[in-house]
Amino acid sequence: MKMYINEIKENDHVNSLFLVKEKSSAVTKTGNTYLKLKLVDRSGEIEGRIWTSVENFAGSFEKDGFVHVIGKAVSFQEHLQLNIASIESVGEEEILFSDFFPMTEKDIDEMFLSLLEICRQIKNPHLVRLLQLFWEDESFVKRFKMAPASKWLHHNYLGGLLEHTLSLVQLVLEVANHYPGLNIDLLLTASIFHDLGKVDELSYHRSFDYSDEGRLLGHIILGIERVEDKIRQLPDFPEDLSTLLKHFLLSHHGQYIWGSPKKPMTPEAVMLHFLDDMDAKINGIQQFIKKEVPEGARWSAYHRMFEQYFYVPPFWEQTKPPDNIEKVSLEDE
């Protein structure tokens, strides 16, 4: 069973799986070579030291690889350190991703089924076929289900892209009939596709970071390319529908300064921009409040991207859905 780094205490015997984040060799004052490691899992990181059999172990595992470690936790200069007796490489198939990376709290397969279910409401035959091409692309689906939606700001965990996409699609469904004359098929399809490029923009198998093409082109262009790629397989896909669909992806950040080289030019594209932005912000804030509001405090830490503090009202948590709000007593009653 996984022993999490943040649970390790001085003198614990440790026997568990970790990810090697840093690996280097050094020399003691007495001239012996040893290995310095940084081991991580979902819960934190810890220094590791290999003092013996260095030559044997040195070649048996790699930086950025998963390892099985046996050792003992000791205290050195006020920090815990793992003296490693044995270490060996393990394959990806032996580990649970969720032991090593933050992961959505929702069920990925369930979310994916919900998304497919919603797709059934789409009637436009071109869009139906286009979506089908994506769902039939197993390699894509695998990445789409696992990718985070961003490195920091919101849904920044495995499964986050799917969670955000599903959330947006549901929002669209909830409000789409609110305005007369909107093209709901297009709205739903564009919502499903809007952040598609994030499966390529972010690499997330060892740590969350941008891929080369992610940094050089960004998820907007990468997403358009993926959509274009599938449309090419549909010879009678209408050209203006294709242009419009790509316009939705291109404009969904809303403004030049936020990375969209075009502003949304139809009511549907405007709606997509607002609901996407709202969903990202609310998720981001709720995540941030969870982590960055000290117990009992009313204010979060300063959020550097949003350049503000967030407030947790005293009577908030007790608040329930409408049907039983009546019983809520506010603090100063």
The footprint of its own copies on residues 295-324 (CB under 8 A) is: 298-299, 306, 308-317, 319, 321-324
In whole angstroms, the minimum distance from the beta carbon of 95 to its own copies comes to 27
Please write down the long-range contacts of 204-211, taking CB distance under 8 Å and 24 or more positions apart.
204/101, 204/146, 204/147, 204/148, 204/158, 206/19, 206/64, 207/21, 208/101, 208/148, 208/151, 208/156, 209/151, 210/151
Q: Find the angle CA(146)-CA(152)-CA(157) to the nearest 5 degrees.
A: 25
As a whole number of angstroms, the distance between CA 267 and CA 157 comes to 31
Among 15, 174, 233, 297, binds its own copies (CB under 8 A): 174
Nearest CA-CA partner of 188 in 173, 206, 200: 173
First to last CA, the chain: 49
In whole angstroms, the minimum distance from the beta carbon of 19 to its own copies comes to 20
In whole angstroms, the minimum distance from the beta carbon of 265 to its own copies comes to 4
Among 36, 97, 151, 218, binds its own copies (CB under 8 A): 218
In whole angstroms, the minimum distance from the beta carbon of 128 to its own copies comes to 9
Pick the closer one to its own copies by CB: 1 or 257: 257
| Region binding its own copies by CB under 8 A among candidate stretches 33-41, 91-99, 122-130, 152-160 | 122-130
Asked if 114 touches its own copies (CB under 8 A), the answer is no
Pick the closer one to its own copies by CB: 96 or 265: 265
Asked if 244 touches its own copies (CB under 8 A), the answer is yes
Asked if 260 touches its own copies (CB under 8 A), the answer is yes
| Region binding its own copies by CB under 8 A among candidate stretches 59-67, 80-88, 115-123, 140-148 | 115-123
Pick the closer one to its own copies by CB: 56 or 316: 316
Q: How far is CA 34 from CA 70, 87, 294, in A?
A: 16, 14, 40
Output b/e per residue, 282-297; b: 16+ Cβ within 10 A: ebbbebbbeeebeeee
List helix spans (H) across 194-238.
Answer: 198-201, 212-231
Asked if 259 touches its own copies (CB under 8 A), the answer is yes
User: Which 178-207 positions form the footprint of its own copies (CB under 8 A)?
Assistant: 178-179, 181-185
In whole angstroms, the minimum distance from the beta carbon of 329 to its own copies comes to 10
Size of the site for its own copies (CB under 8 A): 87
In whole angstroms, the minimum distance from the beta carbon of 17 to its own copies comes to 28
201 exposure class (CB count in 10 Å sphere: 0-12, 13-18, 19+): buried
In whole angstroms, the minimum distance from the beta carbon of 125 to its own copies comes to 7
Among 270, 292, 293, 301, binds its own copies (CB under 8 A): 270
Asked if 93 touches its own copies (CB under 8 A), the answer is no
In whole angstroms, the minimum distance from the beta carbon of 54 to its own copies comes to 22
As a whole number of angstroms, the distance between CA 141 and CA 134 comes to 7
If one counts every other C-beta atom within 10 angstroms of the C-beta of residue 213, the result is 16
Asked if 291 touches its own copies (CB under 8 A), the answer is no
Cα 195 to the chain's mean position, in Å? 12
Asked if 266 touches its own copies (CB under 8 A), the answer is yes
List helix spans (H) across 120-209.
Answer: 125-136, 138-146, 160-176, 184-193, 198-201
If one counts every other C-beta atom within 10 angstroms of the C-beta of residue 169, the result is 24
Asked if 116 touches its own copies (CB under 8 A), the answer is no
